[in-house]
Amino acid sequence: MSKKKSNKLNLIICGVAFVIMLVVLFSEGADNIVNALMQLNPLFLLLAIVCMVVYWLGEALGLHFAAKSLEPETKFRSTLLVTMIGQYFNCITPFASGGQPMQVYTFMKRGMPLGSAMTALLSRFIVYQFTLTLFSAVFLIFRLSLFTEGALQPLTVLVTVGFIINTFVIVLLFMLAFFRAATSKLAHALIRLLGKLHIIKDVDDKLEYIDRELDTYYENFMFIKSKPVMILKMFLVTVVQLLMYFSITYVIYIGFGMNETDFLTIIASQAFVLMISAFVPLPGAMGAAEGSYAAFFKGIFGSYYTGVSTFIWRFLTFYLPILIGIVINLRMTKKGYDLSSAEDNLKEM
């Protein structure tokens, strides 16, 4: 299946998931849903939207620090466009894997060399992943004990698995940078083993590909290492960005006039939802995200508000960037930016 058809299928799946969420929501009774929504202070709903916008701006600013250091002529509006394209394709692809190729392609279409685009995005990814893992560790230390009993106990296992996966990614990234020779030998041994098991073909081609990728990554990491001030700025922006994202649910909670649960517990719950969603191989971790959110927040919002809060949170963090991305994608297609073939174009370079 072509990438274009795959993205269309993923969009259809997202649309079906949205309809299912609405059906489940209104199965609680349309009157109850309307009454619950009427209880939400519209100013806090607006504040929740602002939190999401600040999250996007933080993502763009973090990427812009790296892009600007590589290509001083880069404009923030270009980086913001690239960011929103990444948000869109991350939402509609499994494991958020579709964003970076589209972002590289868009950077290049706007005049940035391929190497600079890849280095900027890798820098952003490493800092974001490191900051997210650090956040997760803090929440695991200070708040996981609140959820280790009762109905949420099985979910704490999934939270731990999600944290381990995030940590593994960071460890792997640093292994590639600081233990280049050992990592190369390990990768070669694994590819040869897979070749002997007839799982992969063209072992020599795969070995050459791995060597090229490791060399590119190492060169990019050396650039990151040489820019400590840039990394610090990216880290601080990412801290604010994640706080905004995790605060969306707290703003909704306050908007319903509730105040029994403290801020740290709510954002920890939100972080745990993100950790569970990290290893679900569906666009936007559909099903797992909504289910884990409802499970963690039912005891906080109560059964009356849980469904509505789940819908608002999911719409702002998942469906809204998809809607914005569709508009951007259509406008770019009219201007000759064929994002549907971006990955194929990059492979030919």
Q: Is the predicted pLDDT of residue 68 greater than 70, yes or no? A: yes
Q: Hey, where are the domains in the chain?
A: 42-150+229-341
- Lowest average pLDDT, out of 38-42, 140-144, 259-263, goes to 140-144
Residue 240: exposure state from Cβ atoms within 10 A (0-12, 13-18, ≥19) = middle
Q: Is the predicted pLDDT of residue 242 greater than 60, yes or no? A: yes
Question: When comparing pLDDT for 315 and 148, which is higher?
Answer: 315
Question: When comparing pLDDT for 143 and 73, which is higher?
Answer: 73
From the list 194, 243, 336, 272, the residue with the least C-alpha distance to 54 is 243
pLDDT tens for residues 168-224?
Answer: 888 888 887 788 788 888 888 888 888 887 778 888 888 888 888 888 888 888 888
pLDDT at 278: 78
In this prediction, residues 10-36 reach a mean pLDDT of 80
Question: When comparing pLDDT for 1 and 68, which is higher?
Answer: 68
From the list 258, 270, 315, 260, the residue with the least C-alpha distance to 297 is 270
The chain-wide mean pLDDT, for the chain, equals: 86
CB 57 within 8 A of CB 80: yes
Question: When comparing pLDDT for 291 and 337, which is higher?
Answer: 291
pTM (2 d.p.) = 0.88
Question: When comparing pLDDT for 32 and 78, which is higher?
Answer: 78
Question: How far apart, in whole angstroms, are the C-alpha atoms of residue 19 and residue 148?
Answer: 33
Q: Is the predicted pLDDT of residue 341 greater than 60, yes or no? A: no
Kindly indicate the confidence band of residue 59, based on its pLDDT and cuts at 50, 70 and 90.
very high
In this prediction, residues 304-312 reach a mean pLDDT of 91
Q: Give me the DSSP letters along 217-276.
A: HHHHHHHHHT-HHHHHHHHHHHHHHHHHHHHHHHHHHHHTT--SS-HHHHHHHHHHHHHH
pLDDT at 178: 80
Percentage, residues of the chain above pLDDT 90: 37
pLDDT tens for residues 80-118?
Answer: 999 999 999 999 888 777 788 889 888 988 889 888 888
Q: Is the predicted pLDDT of residue 342 greater than 60, yes or no? A: no
CB 81 within 8 A of CB 106: yes
Q: Is the predicted pLDDT of residue 340 greater than 70, yes or no? A: no
From the list 244, 235, 267, the residue with the least C-alpha distance to 317 is 244
Q: Is the predicted pLDDT of residue 147 greater than 60, yes or no? A: yes
pLDDT at 337: 67
